[in-house]
Structure 1
Amino acid sequence: MTAKNNWKQFLHRYKHIWVLSYILIYMPWFLYLEKHVTKDYHVIHTALDDYIPFCEYFIIPYLLWFAFIAVTFLWFFLYDTSGFYKMAAFLFTGMTIFLIISTIFPNGQDLRPTHFARDNIFVDMVKALYKTDTPTNVLPSIHVFNSIGVCVAICHNSQLYSKKWIRYGSLALGIFIILATMFLKQHSVVDVLAAGCMATILYPVVYMRESRKAADLSSQPIKG
């Protein structure tokens, strides 16, 4: 009974856990695309990509992305319900748009090197990444979009934003993650720009709507 009561208390306190059910939509859809988009896809490549050198050391911030997203998501889930809803709305809307684009416009890239100039543990980590992650479904980059989304969420939380090491640390990590997608040849510059554009469009929809409402209310005359 104690375990059952604890679970009920948890659900009562964290009712917003239902938001996480989105994973039941995203993962099957994404895995389907990963399995079926293997040929006859549009190659995303621009001349600028050829000027960006491969650098295996960027595997560190690239992999830190997973912890970055998970830890921030968990913090908002536990301590800022309103911010959690906004961040989830921002991230999940963008991720759904990504799935739709990948479905109607199958895409991939041909940037990955076949030979490596160096042989070290970081190159081994990149090789392992290449084996587990297909070079398809890259537009827009979810690594980039979610990094932007997490940084935006942190900036909109006064408690986190007031701590300089969190504010600047998250911004620095976000920048390195974005650079990593290109220096590891995981994404084209086009994928990165597309993610930035999508974030720019969704930001006012998710985060500025309440600010506009508050401004409208404050401008209304007080009735006596």
Structure 2
Amino acid sequence: MSYVKRYWPLLWINLIPILSIVYTFLNHDRPSVRMLWAELDKHIPLMPIFILPYDSWYPFLLSKFIWLFLKEKETYFKTLTIMCIGLIICYLIYSVFQTTIARPQLTEQGIFNDMIRFVYNHDQPYNCFPSIHVLTSYIVLKGAKQCAGIQGAAFAIVAVLYFSIIISTIFIKQHVILDVIGAIVLVEVLYLMAFVFQVISSQKKMLKVS
């Protein structure tokens, strides 16, 4: 029982796939769909090898949450809370501001191109802004940075991994640059709000003590 009591909070990770159910209902064409192409996006080549970090997103997301939980539970709960709020905001944006991306024709053969075809076939080209791949990866990266138990070489590995996932969204043509920027800005705003809330809560506690 002590083992169950110790690790049951890990079950809160299931909130992420539960919330993701909403994504499937929003991931389709609607009367008003926008494209956020910038001139620079037109010059970014398709690089099939980046499907590897792109597809590693979910298993690494799960593993890093478990890592955060084992290292620092407070950071684990904070990171998970911010991620759930971020996902909800993304879904609200998708419901009123639907965007799409023009995917390239995959004419070449090879395992990496086949993996991209699989993604294209199972994920409609909608719900682009902001990018959930980027949002969740950047949140975990910031969570790892705030965790005292993940420092030095360990954090460097996490940073390289999640940076590769972030840029992979552009190089396999699942997102455009504005999708990435929008996700990063949203995360920064959420962390700023969390910081303000923490300061206000601390001040209230101090006033009660005094």
TM-score range, shorter chain: 0.7 to 0.9
The equivalences for 1:1-224 within 5 A come to 6=1, 9-14=2-7, 16-17=9-10, 19-20=12-13, 22-23=15-16, 26-34=19-27, 37-40=28-31, 41-110=33-102, 112-116=103-107, 118-161=108-151, 164-207=152-195, 209-210=197-198
**Aligned residues of 2:22 and 2:91 also touching (Cα < 8 A):** yes
- TM (norm. structure 2) is 0.86
- TM (norm. structure 1) is 0.81
Q: Larger Cα Rg: Structure 1 or Structure 2?
A: 1
- Residue identity (%): 26
**Aligned residues of 1:142 and 1:195 also touching (Cα < 8 A):** yes
Judged with a 3 Å threshold, the aligned counterparts in structure 2 of structure 1 residues 181 and 21 are, in CA distance, closer, same or farther, namely: closer
Unaligned runs of 5+ in 2: none
Matched residue type, 1:97? I
Deviation (angstroms), 1:205: 2.2
**Aligned residues of 2:79 and 2:143 also touching (Cα < 8 A):** yes
Deviation (angstroms), 1:68: 1.8
Tell me how many residue pairs correspond in the alignment.
207
**Aligned residues of 2:72 and 2:149 also touching (Cα < 8 A):** no
Judged with a 3 Å threshold, the aligned counterparts in structure 2 of structure 1 residues 70 and 123 are, in CA distance, closer, same or farther, namely: same
Judged with a 3 Å threshold, the aligned counterparts in structure 2 of structure 1 residues 63 and 207 are, in CA distance, closer, same or farther, namely: farther
Once superposed, what is the RMSD of the aligned Cα atoms?
2.6
Judged with a 3 Å threshold, the aligned counterparts in structure 2 of structure 1 residues 21 and 54 are, in CA distance, closer, same or farther, namely: closer
**Aligned residues of 2:131 and 2:183 also touching (Cα < 8 A):** yes
Which whole-Å CA distance do the structure 2 matches of 1:89 and 1:108 have between them? 28
Deviation (angstroms), 1:46: 2.0
Which whole-Å CA distance do the structure 1 matches of 2:47 and 2:68 have between them? 33
Which whole-Å CA distance do the structure 2 matches of 1:115 and 1:78 have between them? 42
**Aligned residues of 2:48 and 2:113 also touching (Cα < 8 A):** yes
Which whole-Å CA distance do the structure 1 matches of 2:80 and 2:197 have between them? 16
Unaligned runs of 5+ in 1: 1-5
